[in-house]
Amino acid sequence: MSSNAPGQLLGYVIQFPRALFHLLSMGQGDCVCIEYLGDVALLLASGNAITEEDKSSIVGNPLTDRSTDLWKTFSNWIDAIENKNLTIEKTQFVLFTNKKGRQGIIDKFHNAKTDGDVNQAIDDCKAELSDITDKHDIWVYYDNVVNKHGNVFAQIIKKFELEIKEDYGYESIKKKIREKHIPESQIEFSLRNISGWLQKVVINKISQKQNAIISWEEFDKEFMVLFDRSRTLELVDFALQNPPNSSDVHKQIKQQPLYLKQLIEIELENEDEIIEAVTDYMRAKVNRGKWIEADIIDETVAQDFETKLTDFWNNKRRELRITNKNLGDAEFGQLLYTQCKMRIEKIRDMDPPAKTISGTYQALADEPLLGWHPKWEQSFKK
C-alpha cells in the first residue's frame, strides 16, 4: 500500500463536507457539484459560479509557495477559462485547505482586493520564485500562470479567496443547520442524515455515468420534512440510521434474555417471530435513549407511555380470562401477546415509529413488569 494512501483518501473525502456546506447555503435554482468544474462547485441560478479546489494534508501546509498543489490549481483555472468552461466575470475562485501554515504568497493573493494590491502580490511572487527553472516540479504550472497568462492570472487573484478550516468545515455546517432553526439536540442527527444521503446520491449518479450535480430542489425535497420534524421535536426514528445488525440479533437470541424466555414459555418459537421480537426490542431501546438524550421526551413521558401499555396489558388479560376460558396456557399467552403488539398508543400526542410499541412490550417483559403466560409470575417474577 502506498505510504501516501491515507493522504490521498483524505483529499477525496474532504469534498463531501465542503459540498454539504454549499448545499446548506444555496437557494432555489442553485446546484452543487462534486468533481465538475472543480473539486466542489456551486452553480447559482443567477448564472454566477463558485469553483473550489480542496487541498488537504495530514502533516503540514499543502499550499506552500512552491507547492505543486498551489500552482497546478491556478493553472487548471486558467485552462478552464481558456477553454470557455469558466468565465472570470461570473466566477469566484476558492482554495480550501485544512492546514494553516506560515504567511506566504497564497495569503498575499487572498488579501489582494484592488488592482494595486494584485500587481504588488504578483511582483512579490515573481521575486520570491525568481530562482525557479524548468527543472522544478512546479515550473510547467508556474510558467503557464505567471509568464504565459499573466493578465488572466491577475483577474483571477482579484476574485480569489483562501479558506482554512482545520475541522474540515464541520462547525460551519452545524452553524448552517442551526440557522434553519433546528434545535441543538437535533444538529448531529440532521448532519448524519444529510451526509449519508449526499454520499448515496453521488455514488448513484457516478455509477450511472452522470455528473455529480445536486440541485436545491433535489435537496429540499429530501430534507424539508426532516427539518420540519426536528423543529417540532417530532419522534424521529433514530433506529433507521443504526438498525440492528444480524450479528447483534443472533447474539441476543443466543443469550436468551428474559423477554425471549417469556416467548418460549408460550411456545412461540418460530424463528422469524423471535428475530422480529429481538429487532423490535433493539429499535425501541435505541429510540427511547436518543429521544431522551435529544430532549424530545423526558423520563416522565417515557414512564407514562409504559404505564399506558401496562394498563392495556392488564385489562386485556382480564378480558381474555373471561372470554376465552377454554384456551390452553400457551394459546392464551400467544393471544395476549398478539393483542398487545397490535396496540396503538401515542407519545406526546404523536404516533411513534413502527415497532415502538412491540419493542417496549419486550422491554417491559424483560424487567419483568408483565408477562404473557397466565402463570408468568411464578416463573419469571423477581
Domain presence at residue 50: yes
Domain presence at residue 64: yes
Q: Which residues contact 57 (CB under 8 A, 6 or more apart)?
A: 7, 97, 98, 99
Query: Of the residues 198, 231, 264, which one is the last residue of a structural domain?
Result: 231
* Grid coordinates belonging to 220: 429540499
- Is the confidence at residue 151, as pLDDT, over 60? yes
Q: Cell match 417515557: residue?
A: 302
**Euclidean distance between CA atoms 70 and 182, whole angstroms:** 38
Q: What confidence score (pLDDT) does residue 239 get?
A: 87
User: Domain check: are 222 and 252 in the same one?
Assistant: no
Q: What confidence score (pLDDT) does residue 98 get?
A: 78
Query: Of the residues 231, 256, 282, which one is the last residue of a structural domain?
Result: 231
61-70, 197-206, 243-252, range with the lowest pLDDT: 61-70
User: Domain check: are 104 and 156 in the same one?
Assistant: yes
Query: Of the residues 210, 231, 252, which one is the last residue of a structural domain?
Result: 231
Q: What confidence score (pLDDT) does residue 291 get?
A: 86
Quick one: DSSP state of residue 101?
Answer: -
Q: Cell match 426536528: residue?
A: 230
User: Domain check: are 162 and 73 in the same one?
Assistant: yes
- Is the confidence at residue 254, as pLDDT, over 80? yes
User: Domain check: are 270 and 328 in the same one?
Assistant: yes
**Domain tally, the chain:** 2
- Is the confidence at residue 166, as pLDDT, over 80? no
Domain presence at residue 98: yes
User: Domain check: are 176 and 267 in the same one?
Assistant: no
Q: What confidence score (pLDDT) does residue 1 get?
A: 43
User: Domain check: are 269 and 335 in the same one?
Assistant: yes
Q: What confidence score (pLDDT) does residue 169 get?
A: 76
Instruction: Round the average pLDDT of the chain to a whole number and report it.
Output: 89
User: Domain check: are 88 and 159 in the same one?
Assistant: yes
User: Domain check: are 217 and 259 in the same one?
Assistant: no
Identify the band that residue 3 occupies on the pLDDT scale cut at 50, 70 and 90: very low
What is the average pLDDT across 282-304?
88
Domain presence at residue 236: no
Identify the band that residue 293 occupies on the pLDDT scale cut at 50, 70 and 90: confident
Q: Whole-model pTM above 0.85? A: no
- Is the confidence at residue 47, as pLDDT, over 90? yes
Q: What confidence score (pLDDT) does residue 12 get?
A: 65
Q: What confidence score (pLDDT) does residue 178 get?
A: 87
Domain presence at residue 158: yes
What is the average pLDDT across 27-36?
93
**Environment class of residue 299 by beta-carbon count within 10 Å: exposed (0-12), middle (13-18) or buried (19+)?**
exposed
User: Are the beta carbons of 356 and 297 closer than 8 angstroms?
Assistant: no
User: Domain check: are 160 and 256 in the same one?
Assistant: no
What is the average pLDDT across 256-265?
96
- Is the confidence at residue 329, as pLDDT, over 50? yes
Identify the band that residue 8 occupies on the pLDDT scale cut at 50, 70 and 90: low
Domain presence at residue 239: no
Identify the band that residue 121 occupies on the pLDDT scale cut at 50, 70 and 90: very high
User: Domain check: are 215 and 336 in the same one?
Assistant: no
Q: What is the pLDDT of residues 341-378, one digit of tens each?
A: 999 999 988 889 989 999 999 999 999 999 999 999 99
Catalogue the long-range contacts made by 247-250 (C-beta closer than 8 Å, 24 or more residues apart): 248/282, 249/275, 249/278, 249/279, 249/282
Domain presence at residue 238: no
User: Domain check: are 175 and 287 in the same one?
Assistant: no
User: Domain check: are 168 and 260 in the same one?
Assistant: no
Range of the domain at 35: 5-231
Domain presence at residue 237: no
Q: What confidence score (pLDDT) does residue 350 get?
A: 85
